[in-house]
Structure 1
Amino acid sequence: MKIALTREIKTAILVLLSIGMLIWGYTFLNGKNLFNNSRTFFVEYDNVEGLTTASSVTVNGMVVGKVHHISLQEQGKLLVELMMTEKVDIPKSTRAVIYSPDLIGGKQISLQINYNDKNFAQSGDYLQPGILNGIVDELGAKVDPIAKKLDSVLYNVNILVQSLNKTLDPATQKNLQEALAQLNATMHNANGITGKFDKIVTNNEAKINNMVTDFNNTSKNLSAFSNDLDKIQLQKLQDILTKFDNAAGNLDNMLNDANNGKGNIGKLMKEEQLYNNLEQTTKELNQLLEDVKLNPSRYINISVFGKKTQPYQAPVQQ
């Protein structure tokens, strides 16, 4: 009898332990450890989409806590209770930022700590909220306007097609079909012409190559002729410049001789007596010509009766 009672007690103890472990496991999965005196902090968010109970709370990627509870407050605010499982000093200026650690996982909360702030928060204090959009969120934000524009374009295309269907009556559709058929025939003829042209080119490839070679030779000859012509013109220009240089040298020598008193022009420019004599001679010649005009009888005397010639008298200076 004593052995049977002991077995019942053991069974009862085992059942109680099982129930206790079940309760502890359930609460642990919900982010709360019954055997640990953890600190709790609160954060208010406008939107916690993707964040669930038992989501991880991390510092620089290391898990330091869990999301214990999420409740809806007044005016649509969402109150998130954070339960810390690690002993980490949390300043009051810490921001609790909701982020996506990967593309397919849920949301987590990253504690961005200002280590210069030594005013640490106590259990039950409120932290500052923050939300960091992940790659999927940013991609969705960018794709949404594109999808709207694409939908608008498709709508406009649908309207255009409907308008064309209403505009094109059976006769117009028939004409359009005939035009397309003619265009198809034209393209077929063009393909045939292209094939014939390719055949002609293939059959006369050697001749075409010879023509290209002859053209290259002709081009080289023309280039050489052009170079020779340039040389000839350059030689003529050099000859002209040489003659001009010689003429300029002769003129320079002549001017130097004139400046030095050489030659008739130089003597005329440099010898004052010669210039004075020439000027006096010119003056007397002018007087003689004037006297001839005034008194021709002095120089031309035709005497029929033997009249004596009058003596010369100098003209009166006026």
Structure 2
Amino acid sequence: MKKIFTKEVMIGLSVVVSIAMLVVIINFLKGINLMKPANYYYIEYKNVTGLTVSTPVVIDGFKVGLVRSIEYNYENPGSVIVEISLDNKLKVPTGSRAVLKVDFLGTATIDLLLNKYVSSNHKAGDRLIGENAPDMLGNIQNEVLPALTQMLPKIDSILTNLQTLVSDPALQSSIRHFNNITANLEVSSRKINYVLDNDVPSLMNDVKGVAHNLNDFSVQLGELKLADTKASVDSTIQNLNTITQKLNRTDNTMGLLLNDKSLYKGLVTTVNSADSLLNDLRLHPKRYVHFSLFGRKN
């Protein structure tokens, strides 16, 4: 009986298995999982700078697929057809857009923007709408560079004025004055530090001594017999009140002198009479005094 698995057959099977394994390994290195079911879609771009096979396709930053192949569209020159594989669980609504974004480092990403306002979905093999996001470097070249070009004359004028200001002798003189002021401030700072280190401690000691003396004085003041002094003052005030009350009454001599008007008028009359008597004595002394050198006549 003839053998089925001859040496040539075994060699052929080994070659086939090796090629299959090589294809699987190459696709695995590219990020393509042949064992995982996927749907394939096509996108047409005008520019695919930075785009490579196995470039990720993301939705809101989450990877849902990758680029499977990139081919130039010879039927429509100026465009490139990109084949992407997406998870077969993902439903792509009609009108969804695939935006090709390139960051500042040149790394490309396809951002899939799903159309949430329709109920119909694309079928596997359909062509999606492709767009190129604004290039960052292009924005810099188109927007920043013109503004910078307009600013250059102003910058040149500012630098010229700055050079004129720096070369002005007045500025150099001001700098010298500033240096002198700084030196004076340094000297003043040293003096202040000397005062703080030498005079202030002695002053604080004096203040502490005064505070200690005030404390002793307050202690001594607290030890005084203030209660006895207060009682003595109260007694004196009470005596004064008693004297005042007696002076206001008419049952005593001083009260009569201060309150009886008739006695006051009598005293006034007596004083007036005494004054008249004294005036008459001064004017007519002979009426009251008799002098005789030889004795009194009988």
Work out whether the TM-score is over 0.5.
Answer: no
TM-score, length basis structure 1:
0.42
Greater relative CO (CA pairs within 8 A, separation 6+): 2
Length-normalised TM-score, structure 2: 0.44
